[in-house]
Structure 1
Amino acid sequence: MAQVLFLGGLGRSGTTLVERLLGELPGICALGEVVHLWQRDLRDDERCGCGSRFSGCTFWQRVGERAFGGWANVDVDRVHTLRDGVERTRHIPRLASAAQPAAQVREYASYYSRVYAAAAEVSGAKLVVDSSKHSALAHVLRAAGDIDLRVVHVVRDARGVAYSWTKRVARPETDGADEMTRYSPGRSALLWNAHNAAFGLLARRGVPVRRIRYEEFLADPRAAIIRLADFAGLAPRPEDLEFLRPGYADLRVGHSAAGNPMRFTVGRLPLRHDDAWMRALPPAQRRLVGAMCGPMLRAYGYPLNPQEAR
């Protein structure tokens, strides 16, 4: 049975950073956002975190061989059909309430469980990390009887998330030809509420969920990584954490299938609290997001007056 740590939350909340640091620990294989593997990698042949095209990455080709007898045997159209039918935010109430998951849910989950098991076998890791983020996918994975699922719910101040979604960010996988998706502050606030609430619902359905705040994670990354490793059933030794230094981390090459451009970083990665939103997000937009997300911001311990967050 594959042991899976699923990193969830709304995009721009820090899941890629958490994934990269966890991926430095012995016994962990970080896979990136597996939810995008079917289109961006199998269809579009984008670059792996190692820099190679997916079709040229030895690690992922070995995973495909173990999981499916080769990636050519995966019916991507079928995967997309299943995704559209079951893995949508609007389906979460049905996914959460079902005593027995539907056949389509089980079939869709099986594609992921086969990837996880193959990645663990190829890498020799005890635990694989999927930073797909999507709350609906986390609910789908409950239906996979052959994975030991644990979820890390990464939360960031909704106003910081909203500001991040307004920025233009080039996608290195496409050599700068495309940009990452952008949302208005109002739209990101709606998504922030929906996705975070969905992870609370997942915890009430019996899935082990550990919530971490991005800001607290950056305040003491070493302590945070130790706590997450313990949640995942691992016990890193002091020497396993030598890649973490005051203010930065030293990263090796990884094999993230998709995700934030940070997945391509090798070498020194600065670890600093990003509070640019306090200055750069216009006051009207800051108030809008604060009003829309106020109840959950308070529940997560965030001050509604951003000056108190300093």
Structure 2
Amino acid sequence: MNESLTVLSITGWCRNGSTIIGNVLGEVPGFLHVGELHFLWKNGTGRGVNDRCGCGGRLTDCPLWSEILPIGMPAGGSLEAHAAEVIRRQRTRVRTRHTWRLLRRGAYDEPTRTHAALMSRVYRAVAERTGARVIVDSTKIPGEAALLPHVPGITTYYLHLVRDPRAVAHSWREPKEYVYAMSAARSTAYWHGFNLASAAITRRHPQRSMFLRYEEFIADPAGTVDALLRLVGADPAGNPVRGRTVELHGNHTVTGNPDRFRTGPTTVRDADDTWRRTLTRGQRLAVTALAWPLFTRYGYQAGGTGRRPRHAGGVSSAADATER
């Protein structure tokens, strides 16, 4: 497999709708949604919050990930030791705090180059085993996303996905299967930091990036998917969405929202305002204040869910989003 492989990196903060968007894209012929690939080594060796692939089996038993996990492992070494080394590089080189350094300096030292080389082998091995031409990676760690242009053999596109921070705070209120709860203040602080870092990446690569509010996706799921397919040079004729419904099949997502296990006909809901009933007035005000100024820059309003989309398909360019 010598042709360049396309990777669509979804970035932003957690609970932003990346799982459903990724799984919808995974139904496009030639596309594969791998979920949050960053956590393969952590979850695959029992260090993470879950060890199940989207196919239902353990990552170490999955026919795909059981073959990917040992890639890069030294001869005679153990999977646990290999995973520990990968995790160490992730923590010291590609966390969100490292985003700006990676944008300035690229793969500037040996550990960073080693991680880039590993990710190249991993992406290409996934493509070879699945036949995928486009891999959708919903990791949402800006440091990993910033490194992707330095990963050999791939062409990277970015989707900066944003959701109303009040809806995000609501989503974090209650724990889900293998996902802990988080306070509104903490989730919004992360929302702010991760979106700042994501915007820095898309400013660097404006022609290969798209900014999308989750609220725009649920307003027009089919049009949004059309726009994403055009972004990566794919034919919109492969769009699996019919009206508001898509048929979801099994997948090989490493991790993500527990809804990733859902299969069958799935209808995209047209509203995302449960937070209006669950957040107190004080929580809503606190979230709005902590999310400032990105809150208004991204089109959200203190008394509503956000202004109407300015672009067909509910999609804005990355440059437009960061300049508002």
Question: TM-score if structure 2 supplies the norm length?
Answer: 0.85
After superposition, the C-alpha distances for 1:11-52 in whole angstroms (9 at most, x for unaligned) are 001010110000000010111110110011244682211111
Q: 1:26 aligns with which of 15, 26, 29?
A: 29
Q: Corresponding residue for 2:248? A: 251
Residues 221, 244 of structure 2: 8 Å contact kept: no
Deviation, structure 1 residue 72:
5.5
Q: 1:298 aligns with which of 296, 300, 311?
A: 296
Q: Corresponding residue for 1:143? A: 150
Q: How does 1:179-194 map to 2 (within 5 A)?
A: 180-194=179-193
Deviation, structure 1 residue 99:
5.7
Matched, 1:284 2:287: no
Deviation, structure 1 residue 69:
9.8
Cα pair distance change 1:307/1:76, threshold 3 Å: closer
> Aligned letter for 1:219?
A
Q: How does 1:18-167 map to 2 (within 5 A)?
A: 18-43=21-46, 46-64=51-69, 75-98=82-105, 101-167=108-174
Distance across 1 between alignment mates of 2:231 and 2:32: 16
Superposed CA RMSD in Å reads 2.4
Cα pair distance change 1:69/1:256, threshold 3 Å: farther
Cα pair distance change 1:72/1:21, threshold 3 Å: farther
Distance across 2 between alignment mates of 1:124 and 1:149: 18
Q: Corresponding residue for 2:224? A: 224
After superposition, the C-alpha distances for 1:67-106 in whole angstroms (9 at most, x for unaligned) are 7699966711111111121122222232222266222212
Distance across 1 between alignment mates of 2:86 and 2:176: 28
Question: TM-score if structure 1 supplies the norm length?
Answer: 0.89
Deviation, structure 1 residue 53:
1.6
Distance across 2 between alignment mates of 1:215 and 1:99: 33
Partner SS, residue 55 of structure 1: coil
> Aligned letter for 1:257?
V
Distance across 2 between alignment mates of 1:281 and 1:63: 42
Residues 174, 181 of structure 2: 8 Å contact kept: yes
Distance across 1 between alignment mates of 2:120 and 2:129: 14
More off after superposition, 269-278 vs 40-49: 40-49
Residues 16, 263 of structure 1: 8 Å contact kept: yes
Distance across 2 between alignment mates of 1:307 and 1:87: 33
After superposition, the C-alpha distances for 1:269-302 in whole angstroms (9 at most, x for unaligned) are 2311221001211110100111121311211111
Cα pair distance change 1:79/1:63, threshold 3 Å: closer
Deviation, structure 1 residue 247:
3.7
> Aligned letter for 1:20?
N
Distance across 2 between alignment mates of 1:274 and 1:184: 19
Cα pair distance change 1:23/1:14, threshold 3 Å: same
Residues 25, 236 of structure 1: 8 Å contact kept: no
What residue ranges of structure 2 are gaps of 5+ in the alignment? Answer: 309-324
> Aligned letter for 2:303?
N
Residues 55, 251 of structure 2: 8 Å contact kept: yes
Deviation, structure 1 residue 304:
2.2
Residues 9, 15 of structure 1: 8 Å contact kept: no
> Aligned letter for 2:249?
R
More off after superposition, 133-142 vs 95-104: 95-104
Q: Corresponding residue for 1:275? A: 273
Cα pair distance change 1:294/1:66, threshold 3 Å: closer
Residues 303, 309 of structure 1: 8 Å contact kept: yes
Distance across 2 between alignment mates of 1:263 and 1:247: 18
Distance across 2 between alignment mates of 1:46 and 1:53: 5
Cα pair distance change 1:66/1:145, threshold 3 Å: closer
Distance across 2 between alignment mates of 1:122 and 1:160: 37
Residues 189, 292 of structure 1: 8 Å contact kept: yes
Distance across 2 between alignment mates of 1:62 and 1:222: 34
Residues 226, 236 of structure 1: 8 Å contact kept: yes
Percentage of identical aligned residues: 33
Partner SS, residue 138 of structure 2: strand
Partner SS, residue 142 of structure 1: helix
Distance across 2 between alignment mates of 1:53 and 1:89: 28
Distance across 1 between alignment mates of 2:98 and 2:187: 19
